[in-house]
């Protein structure tokens, strides 16, 4: 699905993205997230950083359980606006966890996350992960 080498490089380089979900009142809900991409799926951990709620009670999780349609936005800002760019991934999400049919995917996600984010060696990734299957990818780069 990722057909551009440049797009793949930006996805691999990006350290943060924004996840948009839709709540029960059809209002958008946007949160910053870390992620990895294995060439087929995007993985967003529900990690052990301090949170107000347990991971399974987070609003983004409840929203995905009600409506799996999500958007992941990866962008790169620069004061030189000729260098602006973004990638918008529209897809369907679900929650995967340990002791489920998705054990192998979760294990793969954990390996990729540990490799990309050294912070996880200290705080731990957690037992749940959001997995996004991209259905449409839009990329834009200011070519001025």
Is the model's pLDDT at 144 over the cut of 80? no
Half-sphere exposure of 24 (CA within 13 A, CB side): 4
In the chain, DSSP finds a helix count (H) and a strand count (E) of 4, 7
23-50 pLDDT, tens digit per residue, is 999 999 999 999 999 999 999 999 766 5
131 in Cβ contact with 138 (< 8 Å): no
**88 vs 6, more confident:** 88
Q: Residue 53: pLDDT above 70? A: no
Q: Which helix (H) or strand (E) holds 105?
A: helix 103-116
The string of pLDDT tens digits covering residues 112-131 is: 999 999 988 888 788 899 99
Per-residue pLDDT tens over the stretch 129-138 = 999 999 999 9
Summarised one tens digit per residue, pLDDT across range 65-75 is 999 999 999 99
- Whether 77 and 18 have beta carbons less than 8 Å apart is answered as no
78: pLDDT confidence band, cut at 50, 70 and 90?
A: confident
Q: What is the pLDDT of residues 83-104, one digit of tens each?
A: 888 999 999 999 998 766 667 8
What kind of fold does domain 5-141 have according to CATH?
Pnp Oxidase; Chain A (2.30.110)
**pLDDT above 60 for 1:** no
């Amino acid at each position: 699905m990722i057909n551009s080498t440049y797009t793949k490089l930006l996805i691999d380089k990006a350290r943060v993205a924004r996840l948009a979900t839709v709540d029960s009142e059809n209002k958008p809900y946007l949160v910053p997230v870390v992620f990895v991409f294995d060439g087929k799926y995007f993985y967003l951990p529900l990690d052990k950083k301090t949170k107000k709620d347990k991971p399974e009670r987070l609003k983004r999780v409840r929203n995905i359980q009600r409506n799996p349609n999500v958007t992941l936005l990866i962008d790169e800002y620069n004061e030189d606006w000729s260098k602006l760019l973004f990638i918008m991934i529209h897809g369907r999400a679900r929650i995967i966890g340990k002791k489920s049919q998705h054990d192998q995917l979760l294990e793969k996600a954990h390996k990729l996350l540990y490799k990309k984010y050294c912070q996880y060696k200290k705080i731990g990734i957690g037992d749940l992960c959001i997995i996004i299957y991209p259905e449409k990818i839009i990329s834009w780069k200011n070519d001025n």
